[in-house]
Amino acid sequence: MFVKTFSCGDIIFRQGDAGDCMFDIQSGSVDIYVDFGGAYEKKLASLSAGDLFGEMSVIDYSPRSATAVVSADGTEISTISKDEFVAFFMKEPVKILNLLQQMCDRVTKTTQDYLEACRTLYESQETGAKEDADLQARIRKFSDLHKDFDSRVNA
């Protein structure tokens, strides 16, 4: 495990990259995006000291699902390799609780977004979206998310 210092705007990894490590923010901040720099760019999270990210690639060997961009000069980040993963959590047991909380928060947010999308689609069928500007805006929001998802899946 080693610590590296980053500048604002540095990209730690890009969506789709192979992942062989996770990261522990020592100081500073990192933003997580899907479709970074693209037409459907969306910031998923703003992380700060004590937060972990990039764990999915270490746990399930999947490609990076998002892009991590440093958002503060002088951000210090520890890199934790797949080989160091278990030892890291044995040495820092509180960190595993932090990671589990972050993962639970992400699942909760995804579930809320899914339920909102279902409600929006139901309402659009029941009331007719043409008369309701708020409903039209919600449909556009979820249509954009679908386009982003579709472009990633079919890339």
Question: What's the token pair of residue 25?
Answer: 């923010």
At residue 103, the pLDDT reads: 87
At residue 129, the pLDDT reads: 56
Contacts of 95 (CB under 8 A, 6+ apart): 24, 52, 88, 89
- Decide: pTM greater than 0.85: no
In the predicted structure, residue 148 carries a pLDDT above the cut 60: no
Q: What is the DSSP string of 64-93?
A: PSSEEEE-STTEEEEEEETTTHHHHHHH-H
At residue 70, the pLDDT reads: 98
At residue 153, the pLDDT reads: 42
The predicted-structure confidence for 87-109, as pLDDT tens digits, reads as follows 888 888 888 888 888 888 888 88
Question: Does 118 or 47 have the greater pLDDT score?
Answer: 47
Distances (CA, A) of 32 to 46, 88, 95, 136: 6, 23, 19, 27
